[in-house]
Amino acid sequence: MVRLLPHLERIELPLGTVLYESGGSLRHVYFPVDCIISLLYVLLDGSSAEIAVVGNDGLVGIPLFMGGDTTTNRALVQSAGHAYRLPGPRLKEEFHGNNALQGLFLRYTQALITQMAQTVVCNRHHSVDQQL
Question: Could you give the domains of the chain?
Answer: 2-126 (2.60.120.10)
User: The sheet that has 81-87: what strands, in order across it?
Assistant: 9-13, 81-87, 28-32
pLDDT above 60 for 131: no
**What is the pTM assigned to this prediction?**
0.86
Q: Averaging pLDDT over each range in 56-60, 61-65, 99-103, which range is the top one?
A: 56-60
Instruction: Please provide residue 57's backbone torsions phi and psi, each rounded to the nearest 5 degrees.
Output: -100, 5
> Mean of the pLDDT values across residues 43-64?
92
> Mean of the pLDDT values across residues 87-96?
90
| CA torsion angle 40 41 42 45 (round to 10) | -120
Encoded amino acid at 108, one letter: Y
Estimate to the nearest angstrom the gap between the alpha carbon of 69 and the chain centroid.
Answer: 13
The residues, ordered by sequence, that sit 6+ positions from 64 with a Cβ below 8 Å of its Cβ are 26, 29, 88, 91, 92
